[in-house]
Amino acid sequence: RLPGRDETLMGSAWHYKCGGKGGNQAVAAAQFDARTRFGGRTGQDDFGERLRANLVAAGVDIAHVGLDASQGSGMSVAIEEAGGEYGAVVVSGANLTIDAAAIETWWAPLWNTRVLLLQNEIPEAVSLAAARAARAKGAVVILNAAPARAMSEAFLDLVDVLVVNRVEAEMLSGWSDAEGALIALHSPRRDVVLTRGGDGLMLMMRDGRRIDIPALAVTLLSSHGAGDCFCGALAARLAAGDGLEQACRYARTAAGLFVSSAEDQRPAITHDRVLQSL
């Protein structure tokens, strides 16, 4: 279990993993055959070197990952329960030094894309500038609103697909039940995807249609990183031309294989394997 306030628990092991959410999602998109480029920033430290090497090894273009000598690389600490559920704390580090006013020029090659996938681990001003630039070039903008935080309507109006889990949906909508949260987050300008772990996912299209997709029937080993796998797979399939429902079913399957596989087996979850499991 996770520790309570003022409580210290003994753990059984620790593991170093590369992240953060954007990095993990980029790796997943590349794993599922999308040509993937990444924008961000790391510190000039050992963590940063590992993060960049991990992206390169996955086939992600890191030409627009900057270096900052004054800030450490972003990192997080995740605590996982015996049953596979987890909680995490994120420190964005060098990502907070990205200049929103400059990225339209600095990251110009990134805007010529079919899909732009954003997260809330960088300042909203940066995401807003990125969404504007990419949409001006015709890109579909996906926002994985994690970690959950208040967001401006100006930013949300640029989002084509909003992806949230149950916790994020409640924090953003004020509704504790999934259906109420889905309705509250819905807009005629965007589709909403609400992921619910073992309960599957709920999709509300911008035209008001509601679609429920059950979870893949698997045995959970660890849910840590499942949302990132889902988002990366979703972006990859939308970039490939799938419709949103079809892309969500693919991403659901990819995430199901991810949570039921040992960590060293996850790189073997290929596009073809996902298709075989649909």
What DSSP state is assigned to residue 214? P
- Note the pLDDT of residue 228: 97
Confirm if 94 and 62 have CB atoms less than 8 A apart. Answer: no
Confirm if 48 and 67 have CB atoms less than 8 A apart. Answer: yes
Each residue of 128-148: pLDDT tens digit? Answer: 999 999 999 999 999 999 999
Q: Give the residue numbers spanning the domain of 39.
A: 21-277
Indicate whether 111 belongs to any domain.
yes
Q: Give the model's confidence band at 8: pLDDT under 50 very low, under 70 low, under 90 confident, else very high.
A: very high
Mean pLDDT calculated for residue range 226-232 = 98
Domain count, the chain: 1
Query: What CATH number is given to the structural domain containing 99?
Result: 3.40.1190.20
Averaged pLDDT score across all residues of the chain: 94
Indicate whether 233 belongs to any domain.
yes
Model pTM?
A: 0.92
Each residue of 16-70: pLDDT tens digit? Answer: 888 889 999 999 999 999 999 999 999 999 999 999 999 999 999 999 999 999 9
User: Please, which residues bridge with residue 195 across strands?
Assistant: 165, 201
